[in-house]
Structure 1
Amino acid sequence: MPENAAMEILIRLKNVAPAVSRKLIVPVTIRYDQLHVLIQLAFGWTNSHLYKFELPQQPDLEYVGYVDDMSLVAEQIPADQAYLFPDLQQTKLIYTYDFGESWEHEIILKRMLTFDEIKHVQVPSCTWSRGANCAEDGQDPKYALPFNRQDLNSRLKLWSRAGEQLIRADDMGLNPESDY
């Protein structure tokens, strides 16, 4: 039986119209903190806020970039200490970015891919998209960057070669210069 090497995941930004979604191929070994950076790139965010991943069936558990020792709501596990695959096999995930704006994303496993199936595929990569990036921090929509899949895949290629530095997308030149 062929071994799974990658996952195709659908990430849908909730509660926005028109709809905004991205389909990514990511390695099966991806951690939550790494997926956070990919989502930042895929949706045009600036990696300027806190985030968390939640499993709807386990509301008392969160994977976070910053552990709040005073949290009484849920057990918090550092995002760099947990892998996406085991959880995503069982359920969809909710990723929330910027707790003030509460940008909620639903993440669904679409299919598993073997080494043979990704032989000529860039991992990670964006294979499908819908909708433009949204402006961050409640800014005027004119500050939102249009979505460009070719540009995103170029950034994801850089990301895949960055090693452990990949967690800090804001410092790697992966985000375009801002005019605001």
Structure 2
Amino acid sequence: MTAIAAMEILIKLKDVKPAVSRKLIVPATIRYDQLHVLIQLAFGWTNSHLYSFQPAHQHGVEYTAYMDDMGISGVTQIPAERAYVYPDLQQGEVVYTYDFGEDWKHIVMLKRTLTFDEISDVQVPSCTWNRGTNRAEDGRPAEAALPFNQKNLNERMALWSRAGEQMIRADDLGLMPEIDW
């Protein structure tokens, strides 16, 4: 059996017309907190809001950076840095929700796994395909969003891959785009 090194995942922003989606190659060992940062980069957002991941096969479980002291009825919250994405994607889709006010929902799907031989000439992580332009955060008009640029995104992902544990805070690394409010 050949070891799995990476995953190709498809991330679709739900309920948005025209459709917006990105296909990423990510390490098989990526945690939820790390995937959050890559999604922020891929969709041109600023990592300014809370988020959660809910695996479709685990009802009542969410991975999040924010732990609600009051407790959400019927939901078990697990810190995002303590869980890996791959085991959940093997069992089905994962819903990523960003900005609980705007409630941006994304469907994350495993398209295929890749071996070390298959990624020998591939940047990991990287964006290999995209559809649609970035959307504006915070209810701002669509024109307020930065345009999608795959080359720029892959440059930022290359920086992210060399950032070590600092990769969790993309805004501190110069990875996030400059936003002129």
What TM-score, normalized by structure 1, do the two folds share? 0.98
Cα offset, 1:175, TM superposition? 1.2
Greater Cα shift, 22-31 or 66-75: 66-75
Matched with 2:144 is: 143
Matched residues, number: 180
Greater Cα shift, 170-179 or 104-113: 170-179
Q: Specify the code of the residue in structure 1 equivalent to 2:58.
A: Q
Which structure 2 segments of 5+ residues have no match?
none
State how far apart, in whole Å, the 1-side matches of 2:136 and 2:110 are.
26
Cα offset, 1:19, TM superposition? 0.2
State how far apart, in whole Å, the 2-side matches of 1:177 and 1:101 are.
21
Q: Describe the superposition over 1:27-86 as per-residue Cα deviations: whole angstroms up to 9, x where unpaired.
A: 000000000000000001110000000022322100001111211330000000000011
Which structure 1 segments of 5+ residues have no match?
none
Structural mapping, 1:8-157, within 5 Å? 8-73=8-73, 74-157=75-158
State how far apart, in whole Å, the 2-side matches of 1:119 and 1:15 are.
36
Cα offset, 1:142, TM superposition? 1.8
What TM-score, normalized by structure 2, do the two folds share? 0.98
Alpha carbons 2:44, 2:177 under 8 Å: kept: no
**Over aligned residue pairs, what C-alpha RMSD do you find?**
0.7
State how far apart, in whole Å, the 2-side matches of 1:140 and 1:86 are.
37
State how far apart, in whole Å, the 1-side matches of 2:72 and 2:153 are.
38
